[in-house]
Amino acid sequence: MDHGKISVRQLSQLDMIPKGKCIMPQSLYDYGWISCLPIVNIITLPQISNCIALEYTKDQIIDFLINNNDRGLFWKFHETKPNLNSLREVNEFNLYFTREQNLRLRLENNNLFYPQNMQEVINLFIRLGFIIEILDNQRNVLLDLIIHPFPRPENIFKII
């Protein structure tokens, strides 16, 4: 155990997470990570936290994410615009498309990648330092979400 480090798995093992609840790092908001993450990562992080607290393995978490999320969460930048029925839908699409395109370029400029599947969602969280991989006694790969100390975007993104 690392002294001073707090994680979801640790809090769960100490019965400090109420059943059916998930723990999210406050620093995710305080440090401005919401503006730095693809939408799919923002949507799935609470689910990942809950799965960690339920002691799922990495493979079980990925399966859970695949089975419980819409495949439409992943942006396909090469495809044309979908059929949009109103000006509101067009504006919403353009807003999200521009946001995700800018995030993709920012990630690529910092030797990271924009995720295209749930395995890549997990891998991005690992590369960003949100999640760590650990082996249990049966050699299963487990994930853990860091609560404290939490990485800062300015320490990850050298190129904005």
Distance CA 158, CA 110 (A): 7
Range of the domain at 102: 6-156
Higher pLDDT, 72 or 157: 157
Residue 30 lies in a domain: yes
Could you report the per-residue pLDDT of 106-134, keeping only the tens digit for each?
999 999 999 999 999 999 999 999 999 99
Residue 84 lies in a domain: yes
Give the model's pLDDT for residue 93.
87
For residue 25, count CB atoms less than 10 angstroms from its CB and return exposed for 0-12, middle for 13-18, buried for 19 or more: buried
Distance CA 152, CA 28 (A): 9
**C-beta contacts of 156-160 below 8 A and 24+ residues apart:** 156/110, 156/128, 156/129, 157/36, 157/106, 157/110, 158/110, 159/106, 159/109, 159/110, 160/106
Residue 100 lies in a domain: yes
Give the model's pLDDT for residue 83.
82
Q: How many Cβ atoms sit within 10 Å of the Cβ of residue 110?
A: 14
Residue 1 lies in a domain: no
Rounded to two decimals, what is the model's pTM? 0.91
DSSP labels, 74-89 = S--TTSPPPP--SHHH
Give the model's pLDDT for residue 79.
67
8 Å CB contact between 8 and 145: yes
Residue 61 lies in a domain: yes
Tell me how many domains the chain contains: 1
Q: What is the mean pLDDT of the chain?
A: 92
